[in-house]
Amino acid sequence: MKIKRSGVAAIALAAAGALVLAGCTSGGAEPTEAAASSAVITVNNTEPQNPLVPTNTNEVGGGLVLQNIFAGLVYYQADGAMEYDVAEDITTEDAQTYTIKIREGLTFTNGDPVDAESFVKAWNYGAALDNNQLSSYFFESIEGFSYDENVPELSGLEVVDDLTFTVKLKQPESDFPLRLGYTAYFPVPASAWEDIEAFGENPIGNGPYMLDGEGAWKHDERIDLVKNDEYDGPREAQNGGVDMILYASTDAAYADLQGGNLDIIQEIPDSALQTFESEFEGRTVNQPAAANATIVIPERLAHFAGEEGKLRRAAISHAIDREEVTEVIFNGTRTPAHDFTSPVIDGYSEEIPGSEVLEFDADLAKQLWAEADAIAPWTGSFQIQYNADGPNQGWVDAIANQLKNNLGIDASGAPIPTFNEHRDLITSRATQTAFRAGWQFDYPSMFNGLGPVYGTGAGSNDGDYSNPEFDALLDEGASATEVEAGIEKFQQAQEILFEDLPAIPLWYTNGMGAWNETVDNVEFGWDTWPILHQVTKSE
Amino acid sequence: MAGYIVRRLLQAIPVLLGTTFLIYFMVFAMPGDPIVGLFGDKTPPPQVLERIRAQYNLDQPFIVQYFIFLGGIFTGNLGTSFSGQPVSEILAATFPVTLRLAVLAVFFEMVAGITVGLVAGLRKGGIFDASALVVSLILISLPIFVIAFVAQFVFGIQLGWFRTTVGTGAPIQDLILPALVLATISFAQISRLTRASVIDTDGQDFVRTAASKGLSRSRIVPVHILRNSLIPVVTYLAVDFGVLMVGATVTEGIFNVPGVGRTLYQAIIRGEGPTVVSFVTVMVLIYLIINLLVDLLYAVLDPRIRYAK
**pLDDT (average), residues A420-444:** 90
Same domain (yes/no): A382, A523: no
Which DSSP helix (H) or strand (E) runs through A98?
A: strand A97-102
Q: Which CATH architecture has domain B87-256?
A: Orthogonal Bundle (1.10)
**pLDDT (average), residues A431-442:** 91
Say whether pLDDT at B217 is over 50. yes
DSSP A54: G
**pLDDT (average), residues A321-341:** 92
| The pLDDT value given to residue A400 | 95
* B40:A440 CB<8 A: yes
* B157:A51 CB<8 A: no
Do the domain assignments include residue A268?
no
Which amino acid, residue A204?
I
Angle between helices B127-141 and B172-202 in degrees, nearest 10: 130
pLDDT digits (tens, 9 = 90+) for B167-206: 888 888 889 999 999 998 889 889 999 999 988 888 888 8
pLDDT digits (tens, 9 = 90+) for A75-124: 998 888 899 999 999 999 988 999 999 999 999 999 999 999 999 999 99
Residues 387-406 of A with CB under 8 A from B: 389
CATH number at residue A358: 3.10.105.10
Query: If pLDDT is split at 50, 70 and 90, which confidence band does A19 have?
Result: very low
Do the domain assignments include residue A339?
yes
Angle ∠(A292,A278,A80) on CA atoms, nearest 5: 35
| The pLDDT value given to residue B247 | 67
Same domain (yes/no): A236, A293: no
Chain A neighbors of B265, CB-CB under 8 A: 248
Sequence-distant (6+) residues with CB within 8 A of A164 are A99, A100, A101, A102, A116
DSSP A533: G
Quickly count: other Cβ atoms within 10 Å of residue A514's Cβ: 25
CA atoms in the 13 A half-sphere facing the CB of B122? 15
Say whether pLDDT at A461 is over 70. yes
Task: Report the DSSP beta bridge partners of residue A537.
Answer: A519
Residues in chain A: 539
**pLDDT (average), residues B252-278:** 85
Which candidate from B32, B168, B254 shows the least CB-CB separation from A218? B168
| The pLDDT value given to residue A35 | 53
**pLDDT (average), residues A235-254:** 92
DSSP A520: E
Residues A486 and A447: beta-carbon distance below 8 Å: yes
Q: In angstroms, rounded to a whole number, what is the distance separating the alpha carbons of residues B309 and B301?
A: 19
What distance in Å separates residue A175's CA from the closest CA in chain B? 20
B168 contact A CB<8A: yes
| The pLDDT value given to residue A8 | 33
A247 contact B CB<8A: yes
Q: In angstroms, rounded to a whole number, what is the distance separating the alpha carbons of residues B36 and B45?
A: 10
Query: Number of CB pairs < 8 Å for A and B?
Result: 175
Q: Which residue has the higher pLDDT, B44 or A195?
A: A195
What distance in Å separates residue A295's CA from the closest CA in chain B? 12
* A261:B163 CB<8 A: yes
B53 contact A CB<8A: no
Query: If pLDDT is split at 50, 70 and 90, which confidence band does A244 have?
Result: very high
| The pLDDT value given to residue B7 | 84
pLDDT digits (tens, 9 = 90+) for A247-265: 988 899 999 999 999 999 9
Strand A264-265 versus strand A241-246 pairing type: unpaired
What distance in Å separates residue B43's CA from the closest CA in chain A? 5
Q: In angstroms, rounded to a whole number, what is the distance separating the alpha carbons of residues B150 and B30?
A: 35
| The pLDDT value given to residue A12 | 32
Kindly report which listed range (A168-177, A269-278, A528-537, B213-222) carries the lowest average pLDDT score: B213-222
Which candidate from A220, A419, A439 shows the least CB-CB separation from B258? A220
Which candidate from B32, B48, B169 shows the least CB-CB separation from A421? B32
Instruction: Measure the N-to-C terminal CA separation of chain A; round to a whole number of Å.
Output: 36
Q: In angstroms, rounded to a whole number, what is the distance separating the alpha carbons of residues A446 and A491?
A: 9
B159 contact A CB<8A: no
Task: Report the DSSP beta bridge partners of residue A177.
Answer: none
Chain B neighbors of A134, CB-CB under 8 A: 38-39, 44, 48, 52
* B40:A219 CB<8 A: no
Same domain (yes/no): A437, A527: no
Whole-model pTM: value is: 0.84
Kindly report which listed range (A375-379, B111-115, B189-193, B213-217) carries the lowest average pLDDT score: B213-217
Same domain (yes/no): A164, A132: yes
B263 contact A CB<8A: yes
Same domain (yes/no): A257, A373: no
Distances (CA, A) of A434 to A337, A385, A460: 19, 6, 15
DSSP A457: T
pLDDT digits (tens, 9 = 90+) for A293-313: 999 999 989 899 889 999 999
Same domain (yes/no): A51, A194: yes
Q: Which residue has the higher pLDDT, B81 or B255?
A: B255
Distances (CA, A) of A504 to A279, A368, A384, A431: 35, 15, 12, 17
* A460:B41 CB<8 A: yes
Can you tell me whether residue B77 is helix, strand or coil?
coil
Q: In angstroms, rounded to a whole number, what is the distance separating the alpha carbons of residues A384 and A435?
A: 5
| The pLDDT value given to residue B287 | 82
What residue spans of A36-156 are helical by DSSP H?
Answer: 60-69, 116-127
* B266:A248 CB<8 A: yes
Residues A183 and A63: beta-carbon distance below 8 Å: yes
Residues 268-307 of B with CB under 8 A from A: 269-271
b/e for A435-446, b at 16 or more Cβ within 10 A? bbbbbbbbbbbb
Do the domain assignments include residue A281?
no
Mean pLDDT for chain B overall: 85
Residues A391 and A258: beta-carbon distance below 8 Å: no
CATH number at residue A215: 3.40.190.10
Chain B neighbors of A265, CB-CB under 8 A: none
Query: Alpha-carbon dihedral of residues A392, B144, A251, A330, nearest 10 degrees?
Result: 30
* B84:A200 CB<8 A: yes
Kindly report which listed range (A239-248, A259-268, A407-416, B289-298) carries the lowest average pLDDT score: B289-298
Say whether pLDDT at A33 is over 70. no
Domain with A342, as residue range(s), is 288-510
Mean pLDDT for chain A overall: 88
Do the domain assignments include residue A383?
yes
Do the domain assignments include residue A69?
yes
Q: How many domains does chain A have?
A: 2
**In angstroms, what is the C-alpha Rg of chain A?**
23
Residues A384 and A414: beta-carbon distance below 8 Å: yes
Which DSSP helix (H) or strand (E) runs through A294?
A: strand A284-296
Same domain (yes/no): A494, A360: yes
Decide if the complex's ipTM is over 0.90: no
% pLDDT > 90, chain A: 65
Q: How many helices (H) and strands (E) does chain A have?
A: 14, 20
| The pLDDT value given to residue A22 | 34
Chain A neighbors of B94, CB-CB under 8 A: 220
Query: If pLDDT is split at 50, 70 and 90, which confidence band does A183 have?
Result: very high
Do the domain assignments include residue A448?
yes
Chain B neighbors of A420, CB-CB under 8 A: 30-34, 36-37, 271
| The pLDDT value given to residue A320 | 95
Residues B197 and B121: beta-carbon distance below 8 Å: yes
A441 contact B CB<8A: no
Same domain (yes/no): A480, A527: no
| CA torsion through residues A424, A425, A430, A431, sign | negative
Q: Is A423 exposed, middle or buried (0-12, 13-18, 19+ CB in 10 A)?
A: buried
Which amino acid, residue A186?
F
Q: In angstroms, rounded to a whole number, what is the distance separating the alpha carbons of residues A526 and A287?
A: 9
A147 contact B CB<8A: yes
Nearest CA-CA partner of A203 in A50, A83, A58: A50
Do the domain assignments include residue A2?
no
Which candidate from A5, A129, A252 shows the least CB-CB separation from B165? A252
Which candidate from A252, A261, A437 shows the least CB-CB separation from B41? A437
Quickly count: other Cβ atoms within 10 Å of residue B142's Cβ: 15
Chain B neighbors of A42, CB-CB under 8 A: none
pLDDT digits (tens, 9 = 90+) for B60-108: 888 888 888 888 877 877 777 877 788 888 888 888 899 999 999 999 9
Sequence-distant (6+) residues with CB within 8 A of A472 are none
b/e for A458-487, b at 16 or more Cβ within 10 A? bbbbbbebbbeebbebbbbbbbbeeeeebb
List phi, psi (to 5°) of B249: -55, -50
Residues A535 and A519: beta-carbon distance below 8 Å: yes
Which DSSP helix (H) or strand (E) runs through A454?
A: helix A446-454
List phi, psi (to 5°) of A100: -115, 125
